[in-house]
Amino acid sequence: MKVAVVQFPGSNCEMDTVRAVSRVLGVTPSLVWHKERISPQTDLVILPGGFSYGDYLRAGAIARFSPVMISVIEFARAGGLVLGICNGFQILLEAGLLPGAMLPNNCLKFVCKWVHLRTERSDLAFTRETKKIIRLPVAHGLGNYFIDQNGLAQLEANRQIVFRYCDEKGEATEEANPNGSVANIAGIVNEAGNVLGMMPHPERAVAEELGSTDGAEVFSSVASFLLTQKAS
Amino acid sequence: MFRAQIIVKLKPDVMDPQGQAILGAALHLGLAEAKRIRAGRHFEVILEASDETTARTKLRELCEKLLANPVIETYEITLEHIQEGSDNC
């Protein structure tokens, strides 16, 4: 299994992501500098968290023009698996690989805490091994997911909402929503199901010492999906 | 040569937490008359173009692909012709 973690100027979760994938899957991902290209043999591309280009203009707005994104977009359109975490999610939105946009958190504060998420689909490459309710950390100032009413209706109809902020019982309440996101959305997938963007950080929850191992299930899901693909 | 003033605003139905916070601060300042504040962004662009139509086409492309996010924002362009080599360039 070949995993590529893209490194933009201002990324700051890339090494955590490399270590998390190494720990969970036993393979060491390659770091791909934003001026390089994704190798076509790659199985999974991860756009990590951070503050690419200092969040200038809008989070992810400049990074989407990085040379590497041409190959990421080609890879995604060809059905390749792409996971955008936090700033990576923002870049996927700006690149048009996922619908919607991010606004500043409705509380206007940088939110850094543990949240519960409800997994809405278990038939995706990213979620086949994730539990119904998982616990992951969030750390963002611009995580208030926005999409208009028509867009939201489409997301619901196409089952593109993958994770919703919820309480520990799995209820997607207003109190459980850390940033004001429409419909408590924490993560969405494209229609084809191969591009996932999520604000919470699975790479920060892969060991008991970190407080949770729920994030490991996202990475192990992909590994298990690829195994069944290669077997068939 | 042209100078463009570009204002990028949030669409009316998009929540503006920043504008709300600024309104809160304005009220603390004692400006009880302030009823609503929406935050936006301003850009000044100096552009070389043969005529105004070409300049507007280029600027619209710049706005739609980079300066504004059409999902949440709208933009307005004000254009003026300026002399090449003038102090303004």
pLDDT computed for residue A231 by the predictor: 82
pLDDT computed for residue B85 by the predictor: 66
Query: pLDDT tier at A135 (50, 70, 90 boundaries)?
Result: very high
The CA distance from B40 to the nearest CA of chain A, in Å, is 11
Query: Chain B residues within 8 A (CB-CB) of chain A?
Result: 13-18, 21, 66-67, 69, 71-72
3-state DSSP of chain B: CEEEEEEEEECCCCCCHHHHHHHHHHHHCCCCCCCCCCCEEEEEEEECCCCHHHHHHHHHHHHHHHHCCCCCEEEEEEEEECCCCCCCC
Q: Do A108 and B67 touch (CB under 8 A)?
A: no
> Pick from A142, A129, A132: which is nearest to A197 by CA?
A142
Question: Is residue A197 within 8 Å of residue A88, measured between CB atoms?
Answer: yes
For the cut 70, the answer to whether the pLDDT of residue B89 exceeds it is no
Among B23, B41, B42, B72, the strongest candidate for a mutation testing the A interface, having the largest count of A CBs within 10 A, is B72
**Beta strand A161-166 with A111-119: parallel, antiparallel or unpaired?**
antiparallel
Query: pLDDT tier at A29 (50, 70, 90 boundaries)?
Result: very high
Examine the residue annotation and report whether A201 is marked as an active-site residue of this protein.
yes
pLDDT computed for residue A45 by the predictor: 98
Helix (H) or strand (E) holding A97: none
| DSSP states along A53-90 | GGG-SSTTTTGGGSHHHHHHHHHHHTT-EEEEETHHHH
Domains and CATH numbers, chain B: 2-13+40-81 (3.30.1280.10)
Pick from A61, A106, A108: CB nearest B66: A61
For the cut 70, the answer to whether the pLDDT of residue B86 exceeds it is no
Q: Looking at the domain that runs over A3-231, which CATH code has it been given? A: 3.40.50.880
Helix (H) or strand (E) holding A95: none
* Separation of CA A132 from chain center: 17
The model's pLDDT over A68-92, given as tens digits with 9 standing for 90+, comes to: 999 999 999 999 999 999 999 999 9
The CA distance from B65 to the nearest CA of chain A, in Å, is 9
Examine the residue annotation and report whether A203 is marked as an active-site residue of this protein.
yes
Stretch A140-159: mean pLDDT, rounded? 97
Chain B residue nearest residue A108, CA to CA: B17
| Residue of A13, A86, A94, A120 with catalytic role | A86
CA dist., res. A6 & res. A31, Å (int)? 6
For the cut 90, the answer to whether the pLDDT of residue B84 exceeds it is no
Q: Which residues contact A191 (CB under 8 A, 6 or more apart)?
A: A158, A160
Domain locations in chain A as residue ranges: 3-231
pLDDT computed for residue A229 by the predictor: 87
| DSSP states along A114-150 | EEEEEE--SSSTTTTT--SEEEEEEEESS-EEE--HH
Query: pLDDT tier at A134 (50, 70, 90 boundaries)?
Result: very high
Q: Which residues of A touch B69 (CB under 8 A)?
A: 58, 61, 94, 101
Q: Do A106 and B17 touch (CB under 8 A)?
A: yes
pLDDT computed for residue B88 by the predictor: 54
Stretch A11-26: mean pLDDT, rounded? 97
- State pTM to two decimals: 0.93
For the cut 80, the answer to whether the pLDDT of residue B87 exceeds it is no
For the cut 80, the answer to whether the pLDDT of residue A232 exceeds it is no
The model's pLDDT over B20-73, given as tens digits with 9 standing for 90+, comes to: 999 999 999 999 999 999 999 999 999 999 999 999 999 999 999 999 999 999
A70-101 burial, b at 16+ Cβ within 10 Å, e below that, comes to ebbbebbeeebbbbbbbbbbbbbbbbebbbbb
Mean confidence (pLDDT) of chain A: 97
Pick from A58, A101, A108: CB nearest B21: A108
